[in-house]
Structure 1
Amino acid sequence: SFLHKYLTSYEEGAFYVWTRKEFDVMLGEQDASICARYWNVHRDGNVDPANDPHDEFIAQNVLSVASTPEKLSKMYGMSAERITNIISSARQKLLQHRLKERPRPNLDDKIVTSWNGLAIAALAKAAGVLESTDPRRAQLYKKNAEEAISFIRKNLYDEKTGILKRVYRDGPGEADGFADDYAFLISGLLCMYEATFDVEYLQWADALQQKQIDAFWDAENGGFFSTSEGASDLILRLKDGLDSQEPSTNGVSANNLFRLGTLLGDPKLEEYAQQTCSAFSTELLQHPFLFSSLMPAIVASNLGMRSVVLAGDPKDPTIEKHLKRLRSKLLTNTTLVQLDPARGDSLDWLLSRNKLHKELLNVAAKGSGKPVVQVCEGTKCLDAFDMGDIESVLEELG
């Protein structure tokens, strides 16, 4: 972006960064000193040279809160209220200067399916974690994720062909989705299932997974190509295994396959996951740190997946207690399933796919409403526990 509207050369981050000299000129000596301490502004800049290989941020500062009005009030012998007013006034002065003198960078307003998949996963995970401590924010995040899913399904997905579109801007683009669009969206849907236990998310994730396999699977060597076989103007079909600014397509896909295979009791999906891991085995042994998103799948391929199944009334204190505890953990290679007998027809699809879930739901139904909480591996669950035993098992998960 441009540092000033009269300049013609671009500078990295120019719209957002500040010098200490600008603070002095715009705010005055005393206010500049207070605000510089508050926002961590230095005369030689606050960007670590290790993060500035091209020396584009010399003497530049990225504003970040580094102190509090209470600490600054003791330092400058002023009330915290006065310090707060100085900071508030300075913020407005800096904003007005930026809007007047610096051209705003162009806005990239396209909607990309894969990026939305990543956002949906993050929102769903946050909603699940916050549900017991900050329900208002949890509902907001869940609502944001639901709206993103609804938009993609309505505008970027063909229900008849099962094909995703890559991008939306003033309407869907012409390009069909790449493998990462499917992988990241499936991951988001799986996270939304575990945040809401709405089987529709699981159904769509399953449909997208089958389409990703059909369009991108390397039947000879395993793993997923980035582009479909029918894509035009291609010299080579590449496979993304390394993590970069985004997790690798194959890393996310392998985890999706293990999770879906566990949730649906489908060993074929787990076989695809195993083959995806094997496709990058040589590179993994040489440079494991470059394949971090694939590591959970590597662990699952060796140690297996687990599933915690909660069958019974979701409002039962036992169910609520265990669900709260599970959502407070960073579960590794462990899926969550909640079977609510009251949902009836909406569960039929899941029960038809995974007979184990049907058996556990029947146990809950026969137990006069007593909930069933089980830790399962593969197609078998651990022997029946009393609640003290199951708590110790749940404590080991993560």
Structure 2
Amino acid sequence: MARAALRENALGGFYSAEDADSEGKEGKFYCWTREELSKLLTPDEFKVAVRYFGVTEKGNFVDHSDPNPLPHQNVLSIVNPLPLLHSPEKPLTRPSGALSPSDGERGSHENLSKDSALLTSAKKKMFEARSKRVRPHLDDKVLSSWNGLMLGALARAYSVLGDESYRYAAEKNLAFIQAKLWQPPQGSAALSAASEASRRDARATLFHRWRDGERDSVQLLDAYAFLLAGVIDLYEATLDPQHLEFAVVLADTMLTKLYDAQNGGFWQAAPDSPDLILRVKEDYDGAEPSGNSVAILALLKLSAITDRKDFKVAAEKSLRLFSNKLHELPQAVPYLLLALDYWLEEPKRAVIVGDPNAADTRALIHAAHSVYQPNKVVLGNTGPVEPLARTLPTKDAPVVFLCTGTACQPPTQDPAKIRELLK
């Protein structure tokens, strides 16, 4: 899905949506019939593609709202995947004592290789043929909130998979948002030189929507919170101190504009929003998590990285505001439950000392992200990080210190050891 999104994105910012219908017919651009594939592909390609995508003569999609729907339409999905070839996680094995692959094993591998080549060829032909169809309408506005979600997804994909194209796309996306939707404090782009007072300056603004060179004046919590979470994800994936500096400025601005310091929680809109009738604090985690849930968890993570106590205080006060909802309707606030769980446990800190652009350092970063441990943060020892991280000694080679509170494990360069300590 990430590759598909990147294929359609040359701008840097991600567009909002694309219609499901074209030429008045639902699914006409994306669906396929068995007959179309038989005419487009060679017999061998057709056989592999039909099996792989589960294409049937009847089809698997009908638009019941259309009195004259297109017949025999198939929405493609991977129904019968080809086995992975030469997977590093599961190497090919042979019976003990065998000096060479058996004839059956060799034949099986040759068939897999042939099918893989046929499938690749079929996909290429199908993509080229689909590109000639009339595309659905594109909603080409760029929303800072949804782009924040995409930024975080790309950053997490890079941190786990190590695909440099994901990092490039994430940093390009952030640069686009900063250029088109962000007005920095005092109008200055030098975020690292911003004083505490200027970081709190109310004139710093994250706008919500950009399209065709124009942006609106609306400021919403979802924009600040989702982008903040995405920038933190990008920092943890790259350890670039500039990303952390921007996260701090963004968090300060969110607190200035939207935080209710008296009661806790974040307002959905800024007080000077046009046409504002009522200010509310949204807490429902539906198709998208609520701005409050995302803001609270992001502030807790940022506090663990920077040791900024005011971030943690705001998050704690907000959790208390929503305590009744957490107790009475926890199923309505699953993302807020993640924030609560994070708050209840002292987070582990993987402090990586070394040049974040060096290959051996990146290997340690990926190792730290390869274990599912949601109550952790990954940070470097430069930029506005917490004081203990800045005091950790630099070694000849990059190392990782696993810390909890004020105690740290002995440094290690072993990715396997890092994974073991994080479990």
Deviations for 1:106-161, whole angstroms, at most 9, x for unmatched residues?
11122211122122212222222233xxxxx32x2212111111111112111222
Matched, 1:375 2:402: yes
Alpha-carbon shift at residue 62 of structure 1 (Å): 0.2
Backbone CA RMSD of aligned residues = 4.2
**Cross-structure match for 1:61:** 74
Rate the CA distance shift 1:220–1:16 in 2: closer, same or farther, 3 A. Answer: same
Q: 2:384 aligns with which of 339, 345, 350?
A: 350
Residue 145 (structure 1) aligns with: 170
5 Å matches for 1:112-261? Answer: 112-131=143-162, 137-138=163-164, 140-159=165-184, 160=186, 161-261=203-303
Aligned residue for 1:191, secondary structure, equals helix
Opposite residue 377 of structure 1, the aligned amino acid is: T
SS of structure 2 residue aligned to 1:310: strand
Rounded Cα–Cα distance in structure 1 between residues aligned with 2:123 and 2:362: 48
Q: Distance in 2 between matches of 1:4 and 1:324?
A: 42
Residue number in structure 2 paired with 1:342: none
Kindly provide the amino acid, as one letter, of the partner of residue 376 in structure 1: C
**C-alpha distance after superposition, 1:30-65 (max 9, x if no partner):** 997775434312344335x9xx99798995420234
Distance 1:355 1:83, change over 3 A: closer
Whether the 8 Å contact between 2:155 and 2:166 is mirrored in structure 1 is yes
Report the alpha carbon displacement of residue 270 of structure 1 after superposing the two structures with TM.
0.9
User: What residue in structure 1 maps to residue 325 of structure 2?
Assistant: 283
Q: 8 Å contact 2:400–2:418 — kept in the other structure?
A: no
- Which of 283, 293, 296 is equivalent to 2:335? 293
Does residue 273 (structure 1) correspond to residue 298 (structure 2)? The answer is no
Aligned partners of 1:162 and 1:211 also within 8 Å? yes
Question: Gaps spanning 5+ residues in structure 1: where?
Answer: 132-136, 340-346
2:136 corresponding residue in structure 1: 105
- The whole-number CA distance in structure 2 between the counterparts of 1:192 and 1:2 is 31
Deviation at 1:273, TM superposition (A): 1.3
Q: How far apart, CA to CA, are the structure 2 residues paired with 1:87 and 1:313?
A: 38
Equivalent position of 1:359 in the other structure: 391
Task: Report the AA paired with residue 74 of structure 2.
Answer: N
Deviation at 1:194, TM superposition (A): 1.6
Structure 2: gaps spanning 5 or more residues: 1-18, 84-106, 187-202
Residue identity opposite 2:137 in structure 1? N
Q: Contact (CA 8 Å) 1:69, 1:80: kept in 2 or not?
A: no
Pairs aligned (count)? 360
One-letter code aligned to 1:375 = L
Percent identical:
29
**Greater relative contact order, per chain length (Cα 8 Å cut-off, separation 6+):** 2
Distance in 2, Cα, partners of 1:373 & 1:83: 40
What is the TM-score when the length of structure 2 is the normalising length? Answer: 0.70
Residue type matched to 2:145 in 1? S
Structure 1 residue 163, shift from structure 2 partner: 0.1
* Structure 1 residue 376, shift from structure 2 partner: 2.8
Whether the 8 Å contact between 1:374 and 1:381 is mirrored in structure 2 is no
CA distance in 2, matches of 1:308, 1:68: 37
Give 2:304's aligned amino acid: T
Measure the CA separation in 2 of the matches of 1:97 and 1:149: 31
Q: What residue in structure 2 maps to residue 134 of structure 1?
A: none
Q: Any idea what the Cα deviations from partners look like across 1:248-302, whole Å, max 9, x if unmatched? A: 2122111110111111111221111122222322222333233232232111221
Is the 1:258–1:305 contact (alpha carbons within 8 Å) kept by the matching residues of 2?
no
Asked if 1:42 is matched to 2:51, the reply is no
The separation in 2 between residues aligned to 1:247 and 1:206, in whole angstroms, is 22
Secondary structure at 1:229's aligned position in 2?
A: coil
Partner Cα distance (1:238, 1:292) in 2: 20
Q: Tell me, what secondary structure is at the counterpart of 1:350?
A: coil
